[in-house]
Amino acid sequence: MRSTLRCLIAILFFGAAWHCPAEETRLGNRLTPAVLAVRKALPWVVNIGTEQVIRVDDGYDVFYNDFFKWYSPRSKEVIEYFPLGSGVIVDPRGLVVTNYHVIQRAQRIEIRLWDGTTHQAELVGFDASNDLCLLRLVGDFKDKPLATAAFALPDDVLLGETVLSVGNPFGLEHSVSQGVISAINRKLEDGETTYDDILQTDAAINPGNSGGPLINLNGELIGLNLAIRHDAQGIGFVIPMKRIEQFLSHWLLPERFSSACLGMVLDQPFVMGNKGIILPEVMSCSDTHRAGLQKGDEVVAVNDQPIRRLADFGRAVWALRTGDNVRMTLAAGREVTTTVGTMRAPKLIQTRLGLQVQKLTRTLNEAMGFKPDLAGLTISEIYPEGAFARQQPTWRQVLKRGDVIIQVEDRLTPDENALAEVLSKTRSGQNLRLIVLSLQGRHYVTLAVDITLN
């Protein structure tokens, strides 16, 4: 009796992954490494869906509507949950990674957790060429942090090792399938993108498994399910951990979630050092220069959190806000304390929009054929897409140098500060509408351009 009570207490505090001696005795050989791995993984696997509006009736609608539909139609609209795919919780404060194609056309994203609770999610950022995206659950998880995926080391994959796929195939939540790693560094062409490091597995992958995890027998994430070969059985493709971690290191920075500025140059990749991560170029938008941080410094801890891999740094800093103090321990043993700053207007505009703008003046208006008193911001530079984001926004095929931004949402933009004030309340992945004067041939026309922010 006491043994059973102790087991119940252990399960209550440590979750389903915990197993007790009494359970081991009862289940014997059934408690395999695969079973234990699944128990570890299930709490951090999520189901992703959207809301779909459907019409329902009671079977008499055809007869009723023939006579009375103009007065009071019987059928009604009902909002129903529609499954799209799967995802993985990568931070206890509500961050989820999945395939971009899972949520690409969803107007509203719903995340269903292992315990059955549902949360709305917001898009933070995506990399269309790698079919990855980052979502953030709406809500405060400080008091009840979410279970988070354990990451396998990059490239720590064995040909032929047993692996497990967990996901939401055809809406069948948290389904598990087993297989092996069939190939490593498989070349895969998807449209204009060519992958040369894809994992191949024969674990069953079906519609709805996309974005869900492939795990090893330690219960560690080794990749995200990507696609299957439709003309074959048992050939599935998986995005490897190395590519996922590089994606996360690009997006897990304070600059993506607010106007806060840690000082990292966003388009320069982080790389691993001997003990921690190597800092890219450090900007002067925060106190980092005065504190002594510089390019090439190797960070081994942030606020006493060890940094052993790329994702560790991102998870330690992404939620920082302006005014927060950050203590970084360097490999040389030196400690640096810095304060998170605020992005200046030009940097904020470049970060969110990938643009450089210039205030219209009377001289510019005359040169461009506008009325002398026209107020707005002319686009003087559009940064190359790869230099500031990976989102491949289609609006970049519409705007060009010389176009004039006169309004963002319902706010006029007579100068940089007005535009920056609007952007300071935004985050990456958010949608905004710009009202733009665009040169079409010899004439300017007014365009409404919907933009996904970086």
> Annotated active-site positions, please?
101, 131, 210
Q: String of b and e for 258-295 (b: at least 16 CB within 10 Å)?
A: bbbbbbbebbeebebbeebbbbbebbebbbbeebebee
Mark out the alpha helices in 28-99 (DSSP H runs): 33-41, 61-68
User: Phi and psi of 369, rounded to 5°?
Assistant: 80, 20
Angle formed by the axes of helices 241-251 and 310-317, nearest 10°: 30
245 CB burial (10 A radius; 0-12, 13-18, 19+): buried
Using CA atoms, how far apart are residues 154 and 275, in angstroms rounded to an integer? 15
* CB atoms near residue 115 (< 10 Å): 8
**Nearest Cα to 220, choosing from 290, 280, 155?**
155
Which tokens in the block code for residue 240? Answer: 């490897």
CA distance 290 to 338: 8
CB-side exposure of 198: number of CA atoms within 13 Å?
Answer: 21
Contact 210, 99 (CB under 8 A): yes
Residue 99: name the closest of 189, 197, 185, 209 by CA.
209
Give the integer Cα–Cα distance in Å for 90 and 111: 14
Write the Ramachandran bin of 186: left for phi over 0, alpha for psi from -120 to 50, otherwise beta.
beta
d(C-alpha 293, C-alpha 250), whole Å: 20
